[in-house]
Structure 1
Amino acid sequence: MTLRIVVADDHQLVREGLRALLARDAGLDIVGLAADGAAAVRLVRQLKPQLLITDIAMPGLNGLEATRRAVAHEPATRVICLSMHDDQRSVVTAMQAGASGYVLKDASCDELHTAVREVAAGRIYLSPGLVGGLVDEIRERLRPESTQTGPVLTAREREIVQLFAEDLSTQEIADRLKVSAKTVATHRENVTHKLGVHGIAGMTRYAIREGLTVVVASCR
Structure 2
Amino acid sequence: MSTILICDDSPLVRETLRRAVATVPGVERVAIAASGEEVLRRWNIERPDLVLMDVRMPGLGGVETVRRLLATDPSARVIMLTMPEDQEGVAVAVAAGARGYLHKDASRAELRATVAQALADPAWRLAPRRLRAAEKAAGSPPALTAREIQVLEGMSHGRSNAEIGRELFLSEDTVKTHARRLFKKLGASDRAHAVALGFRWGLVR
TM norm structure 2: 0.58
**What residue identity is the alignment partner of 1:6?**
L
- Match for residue 163 of structure 1? none
Encode CA deviations 1:4-42: one digit per residue, 9 max, x unaligned.
111100011111111111112241133421101100122
- Match for residue 82 of structure 2? 83
- Match for residue 44 of structure 2? 45
Give, in whole Å, the separation in 1 of the partners of 2:126 and 2:5: 18
The size of the alignment, in residue pairs, is 133
**What residue identity is the alignment partner of 2:57?**
M
Encode CA deviations 1:75-105: one digit per residue, 9 max, x unaligned.
2220000000445423320111210011111
**What residue identity is the alignment partner of 1:105?**
K
Encode CA deviations 1:155-202: one digit per residue, 9 max, x unaligned.
xxxxxxxxxxxxxxxxxxxxxxxxxxxxxxxxxxxxxxxxxxxxxxxx
- Match for residue 149 of structure 1? none
- Match for residue 19 of structure 1? 18
Pairwise CA RMSD: 2.4
Matched ranges for 1:1-220 at <5 A: 2-120=1-119, 121=121, 122-125=123-126, 130-132=131-133
Give, in whole Å, the separation in 2 of the partners of 1:117 and 1:75: 21
Give, in whole Å, the separation in 2 of the partners of 1:88 and 1:132: 12
Give, in whole Å, the separation in 1 of the partners of 2:105 and 2:51: 19
**8 Å CA contact retained: 2:22, 2:30:** no
Give, in whole Å, the separation in 2 of the partners of 1:33 and 1:42: 13
**8 Å CA contact retained: 1:101, 1:125:** yes
Q: 1:87 to 1:4 in 2, by over 3 A?
A: same
**What residue identity is the alignment partner of 2:19?**
A
Give, in whole Å, the separation in 2 of the partners of 1:78 and 1:129: 19
**What residue identity is the alignment partner of 2:124?**
R
**8 Å CA contact retained: 1:101, 1:119:** no
| Sequence identity percentage | 39
**8 Å CA contact retained: 2:3, 2:29:** yes
**8 Å CA contact retained: 2:90, 2:128:** no
Cα deviation, residue 115, structure 1: 1.4
- Match for residue 194 of structure 1? none
Q: 1:80 to 1:95 in 2, by over 3 A?
A: same
- Match for residue 170 of structure 2? none
Pick the structure with greater CA Rg: 1
Give, in whole Å, the separation in 2 of the partners of 1:62 and 1:46: 21
Q: 1:125 to 1:61 in 2, by over 3 A?
A: same
**8 Å CA contact retained: 1:101, 1:115:** no
Q: Which runs of 5+ in 2 are unaligned?
A: 135-205
